[in-house]
Structure 1
Amino acid sequence: MNKTSFLFIIFFTLNFFAVVAEGASETSKPQSETEVVASLRDKALNSHLAFDILESLTTEVGARMAGTPQDALAVKWGVEKLKSLGFDKVWTEPVTFDTWIRKEEYAAIVSPYQHEIKITALGFSVPTPEQGIEAEVVHFKSIEDLSQSPKDSAKGKIVFISRKMERFRDGKGYGPAVKARSNGAVEAAKKGAVAVVIRSIGTDSHRLPHTGMMRYKEGVNKVPAAAMSNPDADLLTRIFARKKTVKMKLQINSHAGPKYTSQNVIGEMTGSEFTNEKVVIGGHLDSWDLGTGAVDDGAGVAITMAAAKIIGDSKQRPKRTIRVVLWANEEQGLVGAKAYAKRHKDDLENHITGAESDFGAGKIYAFASRVAEDNLAVVKKMAKLMKPLGIEYVDNEAGPGPDLIPMYELGMSVFSLRQDGTDYFDLHHTADDTLDKVKPENLAQNVAAYVVFAYLAANSEQKISR
């Protein structure tokens, strides 16, 4: 080999390795924040993880009413699932509360026509006498009509409240209608009633009654309370239209149980810089006992667990920690949420913001914030990256999800990722709340939105605040 050829080979070899090194440098160059989040968003959108988590919860645990053996099983499931997903820290925090035990329940119209009707006792209802109650029924179109009626308007009678719930995408029909469930027993007792049966607080036409919590008031007689299915409420209303006296038989054996200690289940994906500061996401782990709690709130549990998992698997983790909280006993009065706020009130400054998924499994169509004005730059980033998901930014007047209310009241900032709840109250608190109602592609879109929100909030240049 001559000298010229040798020099050419050396030159070629050095240039080759320089090009390779330059290419390697280009491929290893860190992505921008926008590129990272867009990539994670698209990964989430094509992921089946949330549905797989929800399938596991509804199949391996199912209904998980607070204080039942299934509640304990759900806590065990939550801890094991978070660990199996690779969360850096997983722990539980105790939540103690009174319990209620559902037993047999039966109702029938005995005159002027005979019909067995489908009812469910409302949460924490007292039982009827063992032989049941048979009495005349008095009809009120709303709880407002009942409360404004004369003092003895229901003396010795069973009160029936027939107000229908209106259907809206944002669920705004729930608030006005649910007053009958929450306060119907108290108002009926004030008028001398022996029981109250309401039209179910739901928008479906199935013969499946909706359960849910009701409250008694100190100093007011406690009367049994139940909800009947919407078709049966229609039937009863038609009978009243015939101007005949109506009698009903009602039998409820449900009763209060002992105190019980459940757990808030918590998992974290640790931040890369400010590890003590966290963005809180999650859903409530408990459900009512009639269905398997797929949309209320297994979906929220699965969505937020999957979102944190996808962020945690990123090579470029956000600066702050993502904390997933699976709250205990939301259904019976935000019990786990209140315990969490009490336990963490002195760490409020490190809870920089949060969002809860607790409105079913429909697609997210909008989001809102409740943050200080100087945090709106990061909100603008969120809006840009959520737009391809079909999500629009609404305003800076967001309210908290139910389990974040106690932390919000202490001063934590919040976001609201608003799901389409058009059909949510067809299933809410019924035996029809099962996995087959959930579309995997809708869950994936929710996960993608939570990835965008949680990553950008956790990676914000400044702490998000109110």
Structure 2
Amino acid sequence: MHKLTLLTLAGSLAFAAPALAQQAEKMDQAALAKIKDEGMNRSKVMETAFYLTDVCGPRLANSDGLNRANEWTKKQLTSWGLVKANVEPWGTFGRGWDIEKSYVAMTAPYYHTLIGAPKAWTPSTNGSLKKQVVVLKATTEAELDKYKGQLRDKIVLLDVANPPKPSFEPDAKRYTDDELKKMADFKPEATAAKPDEAEMEKRMAQRRTMMALRTKMSDMILSEGAAAILSTRGGSDGTFFTSNGAPYAADAKPVLPELEMSPEDQLRLIRLSEAGIPVEIELETRTRFQDKDLKGYNVVAEIPGTDRKLKSEVVMLGGHLDSWHAATGATDNAAGCAIMMEAVRILKATGVQPRRTIRIALWGEEEQGLFGSRNYVKNHFADPATMKLLPEHEKLAAYFNLDNGAGKIRGIYAQGNEAVAPIFQQWLQPFADLGATTVTTRNTGGTDHLSFDAVGLPGFQFIQDPLDYGSRTHHTNMDTYERLPADDLKQASVLVASFVYQAAMRDQKLPRKPLPAAKPETQRL
């Protein structure tokens, strides 16, 4: 997921039984029972998750790992009987990048292995380095200037902005009944007031100042002849957050080798150095850039529709296949992809005959800005900058997304679409015993359903139990297979399969919101 879950847009509503009576949905209870039985008793979702994580490995944008996952998912979907499986280019992305070797340790005042990994798109070291360190702390350009002449041939330790503190809260949690009720009862007027223009400009100015200082700091460290950089974006208990340390553009300017560290290790190095105790670091990174194919790709496959009139219409489901590189991207977002793949496997295994075509899409390059889904939408449906609709725009019945970790589904965000909410409430009723009951018109941001919503298409994200997604796994070195609860993934697969099936069987496409106005890139959130 591109950024932490944000609860945005206006409100949500509770839809009680009288509202549901306005128009009863036709639901094939026998087919839904088959879906539930197949998904709960003969699931393949954990096997799929194993291949996406442990076998394919980290799946950074345009990396070898993502290429492996693209090819494997295409083959697997075909083996289950889906058709038109394809690794489809969406446009130009940039360079790929892979780690071939990474090692870092403190060798003085004593030996200790350190927890860290290269930042994405940073270069290799010149073989193995063994260097003294310099701590660099600067919040202004004047403070930064004090380090001139002190960095040559040194490993630079950057400050820790958010040192870990003791926490008395559990890492993982599930939504309580009260929390789910608040989601359903939330009203638009309950939203916090937006900052006024003066406050927004103040925040933007602060951000521009901070970014300018970071750029100047990076340029100075490079020009001063430092050997490498150690930094951290936070975390605790050996967990560190990972990101990119350089652009992925083919013409990106040079940067230094940089490793992101666990904050505990980084802070120990800083304390020793500031106490006047000489600190020596040994490190080696070997990274490889891939610049022969700069395109980005999505994996798509279909279950053909069977209704003569409706089979040209499409119900889509998907999640992003790419990940960050410090772990194997289990909760972000192998879980979502495994669940979506399991949903279409269930539909094929049960032999149901969807009236509309069902199309799964596994997106590339989500982590860098929803690129896979945004460009798919632009190529197939409409460009939000112009809102000139392509013929396929009219044919999409719905898009369902999953990208909020590995927790079971508790309901669905209706994305401000009040007309669709009573429909979803009815669709959830057969699965109340699985803990999924909540419909909210409130939106959750930061993932691929937004690409569809931006051009007026009905795109939806499910509500999932948070578990330890925000506290431990999201964009960290702890995002591994062990964080995937099998029962949660099974439950989610059944819910997704049922929603996709019911959307494919309705006489009408799902209701749509009014088309949005054209919105240039600079105006989008």
When normalised by structure 1's length, the TM-score is 0.74
1:375 is matched with 420
Residues 1:152 and 2:198 are matched in the alignment: no
Q: Is 1:285 the counterpart of 2:312 in the alignment?
A: no
Distance 2:458 2:125 in 1: 45
Q: For the structure 1 residues 237 and 359, does the alpha-carbon distance in structure 2 shift closer, same or farther, using more than 3 Å as the test?
A: farther
The 5 Å alignment of 1:63-462 reads 63-95=58-90, 96=92, 97-108=94-105, 115-127=112-124, 134-139=132-137, 146=139, 150=143, 152=145, 156=151, 158-163=157-162, 187-191=213-217, 192-194=220-222, 197-202=230-235, 205-206=237-238, 209-214=240-245, 222-236=255-269, 239=272, 244=276, 249=281, 252-254=285-287, 256-260=289-293, 261=295, 263-273=297-307, 274-314=310-350, 316-345=352-381, 346=390, 347-370=392-415, 372-399=417-444, 402-424=447-469, 426-429=472-475, 432-462=478-508
Any idea what SS the aligned residue of 1:410 has? Answer: coil
- Residue 219 of structure 1 deviates from its aligned partner by 11
Q: How far off is 1:245 after superposition? A: 7.4
Give CA-to-partner distance per residue, 1:201-259, whole Å, 9 cap, x none.
545x23x654333455999984544310243145346547x755786646555364314
Q: CA deviation at 1:314?
A: 4.5
Q: CA RMSD in A?
A: 3.9
Indicate if the aligned counterparts of 1:269 and 1:321 stay in contact, CA closer than 8 A: yes
Q: CA deviation at 1:130?
A: 6.1
Change (3 A) 1:271 1:234: farther
Q: How many residues align?
A: 417
Check conservation: 1:50, 1:303, Cα contact below 8 A.
yes
Return closer, same or farther for 1:44/1:101 CA change in 2, 3 Å cut-off: closer
* 62-71 or 269-278, which deviates more: 62-71
Q: Using a 3 Å threshold, how does the CA distance of structure 1 residues 390 and 234 change in structure 2: closer, same or farther?
A: farther
The answer as to whether partners of 2:332 and 2:475 remain within 8 angstroms in 1 is: yes
Once the two structures are superposed, residues 377-409 of structure 1 have per-residue CA deviations (whole angstroms, 9 ceiling, x without a partner) of 312213423432212425212235623433332
CA distance in 1, matches of 2:411, 2:145: 48
Give me the identity figure in percent: 27
Work out the CA distance in 2 between the residues paired with 1:127 and 1:154: 24
CA deviation map 1:274-313 (0-9, x unaligned)? 2232222122333444444443322222211111222344
Change (3 A) 1:291 1:222: closer
Q: Please tell me the residue identity of whatever aligns with 2:301.
A: G
Cα deviation, residue 354, structure 1: 1.9
Mean CA deviation greater in 392-401 or 111-120: 111-120
Contiguous gaps of at least 5 residues in structure 2: 1-25, 176-208, 223-227, 382-389, 514-525
More divergent stretch after superposition (330-339 vs 363-372)? 330-339
Q: Secondary structure at the match of 2:373?
A: helix
CA contact under 8 A between 2:449 and 2:460: conserved in structure 1?
no
8 Å Cα contact 1:329/1:335 also seen in 2:
yes
For residues 5-45 of structure 1, what are the alpha-carbon distances to aligned partners after superposition, in whole Å with 9 as ceiling and x for unaligned? xxxxxxxxxxxxxxxxxxxxxxxxxx943453354234423
5+ residue gaps in structure 1? Answer: 1-30, 141-145, 172-182
Structure 1: distance between partners of 2:163 and 2:397: 40
Which has the higher relative contact order, 1 or 2, with Cα contacts under 8 A spaced 6 or more apart?
2
Moved more, 335-344 or 247-256: 247-256
